[in-house]
Amino acid sequence: MRLSSQSSKKWLVLDEMYWGEQYPNVGLSMGIETVPPGKYESACGKGYWDCASGEPAVKEFETAGLRYFMFKSASSIFHWDAKSGTFKRT
């Protein structure tokens, strides 16, 4: 997944998938959508496993983010961290 801005031609790479030379034409497997600010349950918060120490059951985002997901499977949310000036992946 790559992002760019209106003022820069430079791409910001958030994630890359490489299936290897034996699979050069893998069909679409990932999707992306915007998510509004709010509270979101983590996988452990949904009960898929027990939350580890420091692993939150619920994460709150103050700004909109990008959900990056595998169809009918897991997802991550990329959100801008103003303090570090980078995207963080949750």
Express each pLDDT in 5-48 by its tens digit: 667 677 777 777 776 777 666 666 788 899 999 999 998 999 99
8 Å CB contact between 27 and 21: no
Q: Encoding tokens for residue 62?
A: 């103050």
* Alpha helix positions (H), the chain: none
- In DSSP notation, 28-65 reads P-EEEEEE-SEEEE-TTTTTSSPPPTT--SEEEESS-E
- Report the alpha-carbon distance of residue 18 to residue 81 in Å, rounded: 27
- Report the alpha-carbon distance of residue 28 to residue 71 in Å, rounded: 9
Express each pLDDT in 44-82 by its tens digit: 999 999 999 999 999 999 889 999 888 888 889 998 888
- Report the alpha-carbon distance of residue 17 to residue 40 in Å, rounded: 25
pTM: 0.66
**pLDDT of amino acid 3:** 64
Instruction: Answer yes or no: is pLDDT of 1 > 70.
Output: no
